[in-house]
């Protein structure tokens, strides 16, 4: 086999990595390189250093160590039956690229994943070596995200957590049946057991109040996972139920939803058409509402029809339109929980509203200063000088508030 140049390998192994949606570099500990001879820092919130024309943030150098793989997952471009060009980085090559990119301020750090070669342990060991070299030999203090191979040895997992900020294991598909059909070598319960093991390590590493000895550091940015949307027949209810189960069981920071995207040399076991990107967007919105706005999965799903979210409007508005009897909400009296359910009011706006109303009664124009679009909020609230009257009961309210059809042309 002809030797590939580093640039050519980079093209192959970045292309192979792009189907993983996660690029977050946030939520880690605060640290920097001051006083060390190295470089790197993480200060809590991540930084998107660039954006590609697909609208996705480029924060981390997202690479596969190799795209050779002994598994044959139908949805994956790197499955063993695919004819994509294969390549493999050496540990040193990934380390060099990471440091070169970081020093020029292109990236926040590295997100390393890999096809499975030889064995899960061997592959995991190679990834851990990259992280160890960056931290130990090069005093790199930037962000590192490592993909965990579910059935790799627990010692490797522990070492991965020592060097990495974040670890992730992909759940891949919303239902076990679909996973077994499309990814015959993967065991759903093995994936969840790996997450459970990570949760155990993360909890053990959380500093105990009052305890003097600090436990050994373990992946301070926690764990996350990814689910592919639209490669199987699962509806949004199944997807969100799966996500809620994962959040509650394994303390995940994030579940990423990745609309299945056509891949070259696709397997004939896959659907022919990708799902609308808007579906992915609606799922993220629903996920957000469940985690931060006090919504339950069945409530959110009931905003749409037949177990799927309404693609035309956001899930909070969809919920409100089906619960018009709960509105208008009195902006001067309502509890925080209810204010959070008003379409168009985010957490920040609600916090400011609560602070402001301690000092005077709020009028509609006061609310307008706190929100991006008062038109969306107006039908659902009552203020000192405003009552929506019959607005809330208008049959045409949905059409009025739905985004113009141009946006729907996205899919």
Choose, by CB under 8 A, the member of 271, 274, 275, 312 that binds another protein.
274
Residue 224 belongs to what H/E stretch?
A: strand 223-229
User: Does residue number 207 form part of the binding site for another protein (CB under 8 A)?
Assistant: no
Measure the CA–CA gap between 26 and 46, rounded to whole angstroms. 4
Show the site string, 214-253: x = touches another protein by CB under 8 A, - = not.
---------------------------xx-xx-xxx-x--
Q: Which is nearer to another protein, 47 or 153 (CB)?
A: 47
Greatest CA separation for the chain: 77
First to last CA, the chain: 42
Are 64 and 78 contacting, i.e. CB atoms less than 8 angstroms apart? yes
Which range of residues in 162-170, 207-215, 261-269, 312-320 is near another protein by CB under 8 A?
Answer: 261-269
Q: Which is nearer to another protein, 189 or 399 (CB)?
A: 189
Q: Cα 139 to chain center, whole Å?
A: 28
Min separation Cβ 64 and another protein, Å? 11
Choose, by CB under 8 A, the member of 2, 355, 395, 409 that binds another protein.
355
Q: Cα 366 to chain center, whole Å?
A: 34
Are 295 and 266 contacting, i.e. CB atoms less than 8 angstroms apart? no
Choose, by CB under 8 A, the member of 52, 213, 395, 409 that binds another protein.
52
Site for another protein in 108-167 (CB under 8 A): 139
Are 14 and 94 contacting, i.e. CB atoms less than 8 angstroms apart? no
Min separation Cβ 258 and another protein, Å? 10
User: Does residue number 1 form part of the binding site for another protein (CB under 8 A)?
Assistant: no
Q: Cα 249 to chain center, whole Å?
A: 17
Which range of residues in 206-214, 228-236, 318-326, 353-361 is near another protein by CB under 8 A?
Answer: 353-361
CA dihedral for 238, 337, 320, 318, sign (positive or negative):
negative
User: Does residue number 366 form part of the binding site for another protein (CB under 8 A)?
Assistant: yes
Choose, by CB under 8 A, the member of 155, 208, 265, 337 that binds another protein.
265
Choose, by CB under 8 A, the member of 18, 324, 376, 398 that binds another protein.
18
Phi-psi label, residue 322: left if phi above 0, alpha if psi -120 to 50, beta otherwise: alpha
């Amino acid at each position: 086999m002809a030797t590939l140049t580093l640039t050519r390998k980079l093209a192959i192994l970045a292309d192979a990595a792009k189907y993983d949606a996660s690029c977050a570099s946030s939520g880690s500990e605060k640290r920097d390189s001051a006083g060390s001879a190295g470089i790197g820092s993480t200060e809590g919130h991540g930084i998107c250093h660039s954006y590609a024309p697909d609208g996705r943030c480029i924060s981390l150098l997202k690479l596969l160590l190799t795209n050779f793989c002994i598994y044959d997952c139908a949805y994956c471009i790197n499955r063993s039956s695919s004819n994509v060009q294969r390549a493999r980085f050496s540990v040193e090559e990934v380390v060099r690229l990471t440091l070169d990119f970081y020093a020029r301020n292109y990236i926040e750090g590295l997100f390393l994943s890999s096809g499975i070669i030889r064995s899960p342990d061997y592959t995991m060991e190679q990834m851990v070596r990259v992280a160890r070299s960056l931290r130990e030999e090069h005093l790199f203090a930037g962000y590192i995200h490592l993909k965990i191979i579910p059935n790799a040895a627990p010692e490797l997992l522990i070492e991965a957590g020592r060097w990495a900020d974040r670890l992730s294991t992909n759940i891949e598909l919303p239902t076990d049946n679909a996973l077994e059909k499309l990814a015959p070598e993967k065991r759903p319960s093995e994936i969840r057991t790996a997450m459970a093991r990570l949760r155990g390590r993360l909890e053990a590493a959380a500093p105990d109040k009052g305890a003097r000895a600090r436990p050994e550091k373990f992946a301070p940015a926690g764990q996350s996972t990814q689910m592919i949307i639209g490669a199987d027949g699962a509806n949004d209810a199944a997807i969100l139920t799966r996500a809620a189960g994962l959040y509650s069981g394994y303390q995940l920071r994030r579940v990423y939803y990745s609309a299945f995207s056509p891949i070259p040399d696709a397997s004939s076991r896959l659907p022919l058409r990708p799902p609308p990107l808007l579906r992915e967007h609606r799922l993220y919105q629903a996920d957000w509402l469940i985690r931060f706005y006090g919504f339950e999965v069945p409530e959110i799903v009931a905003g749409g029809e037949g177990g799927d979210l309404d693609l035309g409007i956001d899930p909070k508005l969809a919920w409100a339109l089906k619960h018009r009897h709960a509105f208008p909400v009195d902006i001067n009296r309502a509890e925080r929980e209810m204010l959070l359910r008003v379409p168009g009011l985010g957490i920040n706006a609600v916090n400011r509203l609560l602070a402001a109303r301690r000092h005077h009664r709020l009028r509609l124009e006061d609310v307008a200063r706190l929100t991006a679009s008062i038109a969306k909020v107006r039908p659902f609230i009552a203020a000192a000088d405003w009552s929506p009257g019959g607005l809330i009961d208008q049959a045409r309210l949905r059409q009025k508030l739905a985004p113009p059809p141009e946006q729907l042309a996205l899919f």
